[in-house]
Structure 1
């Protein structure tokens, strides 16, 4: 099943976990960090700080960050590919500890940047070399009101290693170790399968198989109630205590600062999303009719409409996605193809491998890598387009400096979701079969529902859980009840949830890794619908402006990045326009369904 184009080649990074070059890089990073501290501590916040000194410090800081992050990148990829070997676990622990030590040594730098007098800071930004780092420096200073003394910040970082980071790693090691006993379709005896193989069966044509597979997956998480609940309780408590310690006005403030979003804007977006839950229920009712069901369960949402759904080999998926990208921009397709030719995709499920999919781009100068769990269904085709969209984004932003490479979090999904949209339109335009077109539109609407309405549900659940955890320790049933309530708001009477779905919260890794990350998916999806509408209106003139947007990386706030494309995030009608487009897709689907 595997081939050079479907398995990672990590040798451009290091040869093995005990590569002498990796060890040397870790040691060199620590030495550079100490020298950096000796040379610059106490100079950055000085009223005599010159532009030359600040630029020198920024370049030195970037150099040592690059040195430590390359081993970190390698260790994360190795662990994600297979978390079972002791050498992989040990390396990840070692680089995390090294990173923590380095961060503690260099912590003074960002703290001193916060203490530069405003008049001096404005004067420094007039220097072109300093201005090149302007967005990073301004964004850093936005955290000034919530930053503690260097000693306290060092203590917090030191405790994080054995605190929230340890619980995060526990969650990853535990869930990636899960094996499930299940009788796969066409087999007579149960055998061990991965979680990804079970979740893939949500696309199986037999409703009982779908329900059994998802129930088996969820019950395994219920069996691990104690460690999973402990992970959630401790990570939520840690966040609440940090919010309290730093004096943030709200639980979501750290995320808003990191995302460069306004609380009012995000709340407005979520309220508009909730006002449009009816669109999802309309779709669910239409899907129920298409499936010929008396009632729709949440295990039926992704059911295929044909005899078994169209299957795609990995080679076919590659061809289809690259063709869709090439129809928009040959440059975009060429960048995506390099993931295959340069061995930067790990495609298939395997024991010990992380679930889901991701594209990891660490910094300019290091090529990004993609992890998949390809099983061959249409959703996997969309996932490939999604992750390669991320990959193109990372490739285009290589021209940015280290500190402005990553797009702001709400913009991080722009290229990925746009890639999915290009794929869907390409498939629809080339497909002559009416039934297949219906299936394609259903798949696209299900994706939009998953990345807007469902992510809104996840954000509301997470916020409710954090608030309730602030009042005391939560039992597993507390999480289950909150999860059930928020999902019921979306499904209404249109969808019946299976009982094991009470444990649906327990496998969502976003809750573990990033506080309130999920609203960025809503932002990203609605933004892409607006961008795609612009593409339909402007044609090929839109392409270079879109690629320029991706190439900008994180060099400006979202509203500034989007202004050349005529998008105003402050416009109260902006979010509704995205759902109006969803309504258009529903209308297109109804037209095909009702066509004689």
Structure 2
């Protein structure tokens, strides 16, 4: 029976475009983007490298058009994502997705063409043009474009590479997801034989019964061992293609592209990892303590996600909403009023339905100035945290509303800032409200699992990927060697905390198979520690910090990350000291956990 509540469990997509995938209004929107795209392509065919400072207004007009198309495309892509989430069997949505994917490809190709044209501008003239009122607000983005253009091949060659990627590079990534999706895992639970998807089997890692967790873990390990050759081929082909493209583009350092995309210096990344490497011991202590509570000397991987205490406390949806509103309001009035609007205007799809995807997401609708959140609410504190997390993403979208189109795109390093910040508000509030030691331990464990994932798990992923790419330069890396590299990375990343690490983590970690960019890992750790610093400052300043926080979010798409942090926090992120301060906040959680469990 569906819970009665004044807050809807279902989102409203019709007030964006009525009639779902049959919407004539949405199809008109796509046609409008196509027309704008054709106009832009035509304009660029007649656009030459600037020769006079007076041409700055013409450049600004093109940039404004690009910004306009980008936010329209974002709106369309988000709508299709939501349609497929609410009904994976929607017959029309894939066709619509095909149309927007085609426009996306044309848009990216046109953008690269413009970047190449701008790259040829005389250096002094370029500096003068950027100084004009027309282009001053685009200064950072335009310089970033010039840097990217310098990495790219000539337009015709770049287009050829893009075409080859579709049936080569990207096809391997799609094949990986298809292969993973086809795997069935047979596990006996409570005397009953069940056939589960990989996702369902992995979700059993948080099952309260250790025997179930153990069976799931070893059943998956058997499958990975059986299929490791197939996955090794996929991973090697993705990496090999990427390395060939980098070689053509004269990129020696595999980190160069992800560093540019994340707008950080290698010096910053190294400082962060040094600070993390020096701070493993407290988290090792936490893992050992939790292992002891499960009756083991060292942590078993299948016990990492186990609940520290079985808590039966149910939190109804309306209670969760009111709790979030109450504690968001103590941080700032804009966060509270925005969140209230999200619930009142039915932006959230939270109903607990069979066969519904467990993956939560937030989709931005920049043309409408709205967001939509998809999740499954199951009356647990972890669901409350997920809801707060996705509302944080939506708040970042809200903060960017007054910002011009091309200055709205922020890096992945910053992408988890507002979401993690919102989650921290609710975690701390729930901990303060907890009446029993059991409830406090449950919440502390939730916080510490996040810390371990960011300081240890993500570090191991980074180490593996870095070493794998280095070896891949010399040829195919066999599955046996991939297992060795993974074992070494886990031992170093987790500081030897596990006694049965999954050497096949390289198989079931989907981030290694993302074809958009390598190293889809370090931005998580970066964002986590960065947010800790912001949150610590917010607790000191109270509600008056919201204005500064909004300013930071609004600048997140138009500055280097080093400049962003210096401007808004007055901190040097190339220094280990910045990262150490954030890590120390998490070390205090370890100390409290040890005290409560001793």
- Global fold match (TM > 0.5): yes
C-alpha distance after superposition, 1:518-569 (max 9, x if no partner): 1011111111222222233333332321222123331222222222322221
What residue number does 1:334 align with?
337
Gaps of 5+ in 2: none
For the Cα contact (< 8 Å) 1:177–1:352, is it kept in 2? no
Aligned equivalent of 1:284, options 278, 284, 287: 287
Q: Does 1:587 align with 2:591?
A: yes
Q: Does 1:419 align with 2:440?
A: no
| 1:554 alignment partner, SS class | coil
C-alpha spacing 1:382/1:231, structure 2 compared with 1 (3 Å): farther
Q: Comparing 319-328 with 463-472, which one deviates more in the overlay?
A: 319-328
What residue number does 2:174 align with?
169
C-alpha spacing 1:157/1:315, structure 2 compared with 1 (3 Å): farther
Once the two structures are TM-superposed, the CA of residue 278 in structure 1 deviates from its matched residue by 1.6
For the Cα contact (< 8 Å) 1:6–1:340, is it kept in 2? no
Counterparts of 2:257 and 2:561 in 1: how far apart (Å)? 17
Aligned equivalent of 1:465, options 468, 478, 499: 468
C-alpha spacing 1:333/1:455, structure 2 compared with 1 (3 Å): farther
For the Cα contact (< 8 Å) 1:83–1:353, is it kept in 2? no
For the Cα contact (< 8 Å) 1:195–1:355, is it kept in 2? no
Once the two structures are TM-superposed, the CA of residue 329 in structure 1 deviates from its matched residue by 2.0
Counterparts of 1:252 and 1:442 in 2: how far apart (Å)? 33
Once the two structures are superposed, the pairs formed by residues 549-560 of structure 1 within 5 Å of their partners are: 549-560=552-563
Counterparts of 1:506 and 1:176 in 2: how far apart (Å)? 13
C-alpha spacing 1:345/1:497, structure 2 compared with 1 (3 Å): farther
Q: Comparing 97-106 with 294-303, which one deviates more in the overlay?
A: 97-106
What residue number does 1:52 align with?
57
C-alpha spacing 1:311/1:493, structure 2 compared with 1 (3 Å): farther
What residue number does 2:370 align with?
367
| 2:485 alignment partner, SS class | helix
Count of residues in Structure 1 that have an aligned counterpart in Structure 2: 590
C-alpha spacing 1:384/1:190, structure 2 compared with 1 (3 Å): farther
C-alpha distance after superposition, 1:368-403 (max 9, x if no partner): 333335555544433332222122111111211111
Aligned equivalent of 2:36, options 32, 36, 48: 32
| 2:253 alignment partner, SS class | coil
Counterparts of 1:510 and 1:8 in 2: how far apart (Å)? 29
| 1:132 alignment partner, SS class | helix
Once the two structures are superposed, the pairs formed by residues 181-580 of structure 1 within 5 Å of their partners are: 181-183=186-188, 188-217=191-220, 219-220=222-223, 225=228, 228-308=231-311, 310-347=313-350, 356-361=359-364, 363=366, 365=368, 367-497=370-500, 501-513=502-514, 514-562=517-565, 563-580=567-584
Once the two structures are TM-superposed, the CA of residue 47 in structure 1 deviates from its matched residue by 0.3
| 1:524 alignment partner, SS class | helix
Counterparts of 2:127 and 2:253 in 1: how far apart (Å)? 29
Counterparts of 2:574 and 2:116 in 1: how far apart (Å)? 32
Once the two structures are TM-superposed, the CA of residue 88 in structure 1 deviates from its matched residue by 4.1
What residue number does 2:121 align with?
116
C-alpha spacing 1:219/1:309, structure 2 compared with 1 (3 Å): farther
| 2:216 alignment partner, SS class | helix
Q: Comparing 313-322 with 136-145, which one deviates more in the overlay?
A: 313-322
C-alpha spacing 1:191/1:554, structure 2 compared with 1 (3 Å): same
Q: Comparing 251-260 with 344-353, which one deviates more in the overlay?
A: 344-353
* RMSD across aligned positions (CA): 3.0
C-alpha spacing 1:244/1:354, structure 2 compared with 1 (3 Å): farther
Gaps of 5+ in 1: none
Q: Comparing 82-91 with 576-585, which one deviates more in the overlay?
A: 82-91
What residue number does 1:136 align with?
141
| 2:135 alignment partner, SS class | helix
C-alpha spacing 1:319/1:475, structure 2 compared with 1 (3 Å): farther
Once the two structures are TM-superposed, the CA of residue 197 in structure 1 deviates from its matched residue by 4.0
C-alpha distance after superposition, 1:320-357 (max 9, x if no partner): 43433223223213323444444433446878766533
C-alpha spacing 1:548/1:207, structure 2 compared with 1 (3 Å): same
For the Cα contact (< 8 Å) 1:176–1:353, is it kept in 2? no
C-alpha spacing 1:352/1:479, structure 2 compared with 1 (3 Å): farther
C-alpha spacing 1:389/1:105, structure 2 compared with 1 (3 Å): closer
For the Cα contact (< 8 Å) 2:417–2:527, is it kept in 1? yes
Once the two structures are TM-superposed, the CA of residue 234 in structure 1 deviates from its matched residue by 2.4
Counterparts of 2:225 and 2:349 in 1: how far apart (Å)? 30
What residue number does 1:41 align with?
45
Counterparts of 1:9 and 1:228 in 2: how far apart (Å)? 40
C-alpha spacing 1:269/1:368, structure 2 compared with 1 (3 Å): same
What is the TM-score when the length of structure 1 is the normalising length?
0.89
Q: Comparing 522-531 with 71-80, which one deviates more in the overlay?
A: 71-80
Counterparts of 2:267 and 2:306 in 1: how far apart (Å)? 37
Counterparts of 1:238 and 1:354 in 2: how far apart (Å)? 32
C-alpha spacing 1:552/1:123, structure 2 compared with 1 (3 Å): same
For the Cα contact (< 8 Å) 1:408–1:557, is it kept in 2? no
Counterparts of 2:365 and 2:165 in 1: how far apart (Å)? 21
C-alpha spacing 1:26/1:162, structure 2 compared with 1 (3 Å): farther
For the Cα contact (< 8 Å) 2:274–2:576, is it kept in 1? no
Once the two structures are TM-superposed, the CA of residue 487 in structure 1 deviates from its matched residue by 1.2
Counterparts of 1:173 and 1:332 in 2: how far apart (Å)? 40
What residue number does 1:157 align with?
162
Once the two structures are TM-superposed, the CA of residue 496 in structure 1 deviates from its matched residue by 1.9
C-alpha spacing 1:579/1:71, structure 2 compared with 1 (3 Å): closer
For the Cα contact (< 8 Å) 2:240–2:472, is it kept in 1? yes
